[in-house]
Structure 1
Amino acid sequence: MSENTLEGVKAAISSYKKKHELLLEEQKELAAARDDRRDITKQCKQRTDKLIQSTKDDQQSHQDQLANEQLKLENDELMKELQKAEAALKDQKAENKNLKQQTDVFSAVPEKKVVFTGLTGKADDTEKFEMNPHIVYPMEGGTALVTFEEESVAKKILATKEHKVDLGGECSITVDAKPVHLKLPKLVEIDTDVCPRRILISNLPKMDTDTLLNKLEIHFSKSKHGGGEVDECEMMPDSGNVVLTFMDQNLAKGLTETEYHEVKLQQTKHKVRVTPFLNGTITNLETKMTACLRTVLLTGIPAVMEQETLQDLLEIHFQKNGNGGGEIEAFLYNPVGQQASALFGGVSSEAEEK
């Protein structure tokens, strides 16, 4: 059909309308697809924003967690330091309390009268603490201990080792000379504390010991004098002071704080001094083996005659210069089958000078 005719024109218009409608439909579809893509893009952007925010939140949470853990560690360290400081403070308080007790004791030690004899010495030679040995040495049977006045004599006897001792007639014995070693303390550490039940009573008059102890016990057993039931009352022979022990642990402190007490000991009242009593505990003890330079141990002594006779013969033998001996200060013989102990004491500086 020709487009120049009316029918042809109508047909062409109808065809273009259909094409236009198709184009409009395609345009709508494209617009819908565009809108869908925009929605998807928007949703993706929203999701991306959420993920970014979530990541930021997670990072912040992680940082907060790390910060909290760091704070917790710092807090734990501070708590440890605080506990150490509290423990150190507790130890310091205990030490201060102990030092205060020591100060109270040292400021209230029993009085002792002294007289200056005119002798002087170097300050460096002064010893802060002196301990007198009191050593019990068990002896085997058939042995003897000889202490010479001179070390050189003991050295000669030990150098000879075997000694033939004449017992009279054709009888003789051979004994061995050996050095004597004693275990002595090298270092002694003692912790002291004030005894809550004991008091030390000094400034006492010279009188019968039993009477003195009875009167002190009677006086301090009365509550009006600040005392109570007495467990024990004993004299210290080295100082002449008295140690009184109560049954109750709360009495000693009050009596030592008063310090001076009027006690009727003889016909009149006498002022005695009451001071704290110290308990001592050895916390560290180191020993060393020490040779007795003037003492020799004789072994292998048979029981061939009476103890006194044999001891006299042995002592005479080791006194003679011809036998390498010299002046004897002490001699102790223990026969075979018997038990004996020798007592070793300290030698004072005065004795050494003499």
Structure 2
Amino acid sequence: MSSDEPSTTQFVNGQNNRTPTEQDFSIVSDEQINLQMIQKDIEKLKVQYETLLKDHKLFSDGIESNHKYTQEFQQRAVNLKRNLDNDRVAQAETVKKEQLKLDAVKQQNILLKTELMTMDQKLRDMEETNQSLRQQTEVSTAVPEKKVVFTGETANGAQALSFDMKPHIVYTMEGGTALITFEEEEVTEKILALKEHEVSLGDCRIVVQAEPVRFLVPSGVEMDTQVCPRRILVSNLPKNESVDRVLDKLEIYFSKKKNGGGEVEDIDMLDDSGNVVITFVDDDVAKGLTDKQTHEVELERGKKLKVKVTPFLNGGITHLQTCNAVCDKTVLLTGIPPVMDLDNLQDLLEIHFQKSANSGGEVDAIVYNPVGQRTLAVFQEDSSKDE
């Protein structure tokens, strides 16, 4: 306020009742403006405070949510760990069970391999046995051609459907074996019943095994026969004449056309019967000679012999039945080591099995086949059974 202006201050009842001046209005305006600004700032601060409260609430909610999620995750982690542990335990038990199964399978495989090896060995043994039996069958079934002829005799029943053949069986002996035939069947039975026999060979003893001799033999034979158009069978021949002389005289006689003969291709005498088989070149010769049947052949000058001419039958086996046969008197001894020469060992074996103290008896025949050798033993019909 200027010093030149008059003062307008008044005091009423002891108070200053000065009339406001322009300066005073200016001060009031500034204060109002400041107050408004402060209020605005306060409003702003309130807004900021509200915002901060909201943010704080959001943060608090977030912290609480995170804490909740953390607890859930921790619980899930615990559950997962527990499940994982359980899975590991279950897996370990499963692996253990599978390992036990695998061990059982391995053991089973070992047993199966062992059984397979055993079966293979048995199969090889059976194959060897079958091969031996097959060889015996081939030998047994290789029946020699029987040259037979109808001689005018007839028979009824079974005799009309059969004929006799002499057995002739070839048996293959392995090395280190012996065949011994006793005169009595009872001795063979006792030897086989004991199975093992201790044989003294002087300074040493050996143990041999007794086994029965088995092979296949024909039990029934069916043959298809037909008359041969080029062969004849000549019988009733003398037995005290030379075979060559008889054959020559027969060939001379039957080669002449005036005697009903023809060109001779072959002539042969059958050793088992003493009859002669003559084969002609042409087919139309044999029938005329067999129709006549009786022919007089000159064997010596001025001496003629009546011979009989019959048809010759060709035959083939159409059906063969076989059966297993066991020798009643023969025993197979196996497991014989090569401890001495053949003759001495065979003699000592025969001496041992002849003694009744060794359950033996009278020996009819014996043959020893050393180790490393192969021998063929021939079995024939036991003629003593016919006595």
Question: Does the alignment reach a TM-score above 0.5?
Answer: yes
Match of 2:281 in 1: 247
Task: Determine the C-alpha separation between the residues in 2 that align with 1:259 and 1:130.
Answer: 25
Rate the CA distance shift 1:198–1:124 in 2: closer, same or farther, 3 A: closer
Match of 1:182 in 2: 215
Give me the CA root mean square deviation.
2.1
Rate the CA distance shift 1:339–1:107 in 2: closer, same or farther, 3 A: closer
Match of 1:290 in 2: 325
Pairing 1:225–2:245 present: no
Match of 1:333 in 2: 368
Task: Determine the C-alpha separation between the residues in 1 that align with 2:151 and 2:333.
Answer: 51
Do the aligned residues in 1 keep the contact of 2:293 with 2:309 (CA within 8 Å)? yes
1:237 to 271, 285, 293: 271
Rate the CA distance shift 1:218–1:124 in 2: closer, same or farther, 3 A: closer
Deviation per CA, 1:183-202, whole angstroms, max 9, x where unpaired? 11111111111111110111
2:337 is paired with a residue whose SS is coil
Match of 1:345 in 2: 380
1:265 is paired with a residue whose SS is strand
Unaligned runs of 5+ in 2: 1-148
Pairing 1:280–2:350 present: no
Do the aligned residues in 2 keep the contact of 1:156 with 1:324 (CA within 8 Å)? yes
- AA aligned to 2:208 is V
Give 1:130-141 correspondences, 5 Å limit.
130-141=164-175
Task: Determine the C-alpha separation between the residues in 1 that align with 2:230 and 2:206.
Answer: 60
Do the aligned residues in 1 keep the contact of 2:150 with 2:311 (CA within 8 Å)? no
Task: Give the drift of 1:262.
Answer: 2.0
Do the aligned residues in 2 keep the contact of 1:108 with 1:276 (CA within 8 Å)? no
Task: Determine the C-alpha separation between the residues in 1 that align with 2:262 and 2:159.
Answer: 42
Task: Give the drift of 1:126.
Answer: 7.2
1:148 to 159, 182, 195: 182
Rate the CA distance shift 1:124–1:191 in 2: closer, same or farther, 3 A: closer
Deviation per CA, 1:234-288, whole angstroms, max 9, x where unpaired? 1112222111111212210011111112221122222221110111111100101
Rate the CA distance shift 1:353–1:232 in 2: closer, same or farther, 3 A: closer
Determine what percentage of the aligned residue pairs are the same residue: 59
Deviation per CA, 1:149-202, whole angstroms, max 9, x where unpaired? 111211111111111111102x11111111111211111111111111110111
- AA aligned to 1:153 is V
Task: Give the drift of 1:130.
Answer: 2.5
Match of 1:200 in 2: 233
Structure 1 length as normaliser, TM-score? 0.62
- AA aligned to 2:217 is L
Match of 2:6 in 1: none
Match of 2:192 in 1: 158
- AA aligned to 1:224 is K
Rate the CA distance shift 1:227–1:308 in 2: closer, same or farther, 3 A: same
Task: Give the drift of 1:129.
Answer: 3.0
2:340 is paired with a residue whose SS is coil
Structure 2 length as normaliser, TM-score? 0.57
- AA aligned to 2:351 is I
Rate the CA distance shift 1:126–1:284 in 2: closer, same or farther, 3 A: closer
- AA aligned to 2:331 is V
Task: Determine the C-alpha separation between the residues in 2 that align with 1:125 and 1:294.
Answer: 29
Do the aligned residues in 1 keep the contact of 2:151 with 2:310 (CA within 8 Å)? no
Task: Give the drift of 1:223.
Answer: 2.0
Rate the CA distance shift 1:126–1:262 in 2: closer, same or farther, 3 A: closer
Task: Determine the C-alpha separation between the residues in 2 that align with 1:292 and 1:239.
Answer: 28
2:300 is paired with a residue whose SS is coil
Task: Give the drift of 1:337.
Answer: 1.5
- AA aligned to 1:307 is L
Aligned residues: 234
Match of 2:54 in 1: none
1:311 is paired with a residue whose SS is helix
Task: Give the drift of 1:131.
Answer: 2.6
Pairing 1:300–2:323 present: no
Pairing 1:173–2:235 present: no
Do the aligned residues in 1 keep the contact of 2:150 with 2:310 (CA within 8 Å)? no
- AA aligned to 2:376 is S
Task: Give the drift of 1:211.
Answer: 0.6
Match of 1:58 in 2: none
